[in-house]
């Protein structure tokens, strides 16, 4: 939707359809009505909660904590902007989805879900299953944030990412493993 922002004097090159004719009649000079787009977005966090996410990250902190921290930080920014937050998480045992929410309570619940899922995971990661789920079930345009392990990108992953890029805006976050040496 468009919200009224202000009126300003007409300048050469402005669209004629933007002229506010009532304000122009009152002021005696052409005035252009400016509007601001009010867009509601949904940020979908796609979090890999497989067994590799229980390892240590490059800075030797648990990947689980980094996944929750990254999701939480971006989630808070999303809520402050007035947008919705949703979550898809899973591993080779299955993919699960939380409905969109627009409150800090909904974000907190999503973060606890990610933390609990990683803690209790015994199945390997299946990033392609997560991406297939999003491609198959999410029809509305969203900002998709993928939080995943440092697994190699396969041809199937690249194909799914190309498919998702057509419909969504993507942000990919990789949590690197700690150096074993």
* pLDDT tens profile 100-131: 999 999 999 999 999 999 999 999 999 999 99
* Model pLDDT, residue 1: 56
Question: Measuring CA to CA, how many Å separate 119 from each of 1, 34, 54, 74, 100?
Answer: 42, 51, 7, 22, 23
CA angle, corner 45, sides to 154 and 167, nearest 5?
Answer: 70
Q: What is the DSSP letter of 29?
A: S
* Model pLDDT, residue 181: 72
Q: Are 150 and 107 in contact (CB under 8 A)?
A: no
Report, as an integer, the average pLDDT of 2-28.
Answer: 90
> Which token pair is 144?
């998709």
At 74, the pLDDT band (50, 70, 90 cuts) reads very high
* Model pLDDT, residue 38: 64
Report, as an integer, the average pLDDT of 158-177.
Answer: 94
* Model pLDDT, residue 179: 82
At 40, the pLDDT band (50, 70, 90 cuts) reads confident
Q: What is the DSSP letter of 62?
A: B
């Amino acid at each position: 939707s468009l919200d009224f922002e202000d009126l300003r004097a007409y300048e050469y090159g402005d669209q004629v359809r933007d002229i506010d004719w009532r304000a122009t009649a009152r002021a005696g000079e052409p005035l252009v009505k400016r509007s601001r787009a009010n867009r509601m977005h949904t940020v979908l966090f796609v979090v890999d909660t497989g067994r590799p996410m229980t390892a240590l990250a490059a800075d030797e902190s648990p990947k689980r904590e980094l996944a929750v921290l990254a999701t939480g930080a971006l989630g808070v920014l999303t809520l402050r902007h007035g947008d919705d937050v949703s979550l898809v998480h899973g591993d080779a045992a299955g993919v699960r989805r939380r409905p969109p929410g627009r409150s800090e309570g909904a974000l907190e619940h999503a973060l606890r879900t990610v933390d609990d899922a990683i803690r209790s995971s015994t199945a390997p990661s299946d990033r392609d299953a997560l991406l297939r789920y999003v491609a198959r079930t999410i029809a509305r345009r969203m900002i998709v944030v993928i939080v995943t392990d440092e697994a190699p990108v396969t041809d199937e992953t690249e194909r799914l990412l190309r498919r998702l890029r057509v419909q969504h805006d993507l942000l990919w976050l990789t949590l690197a493993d700690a150096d074993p040496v």
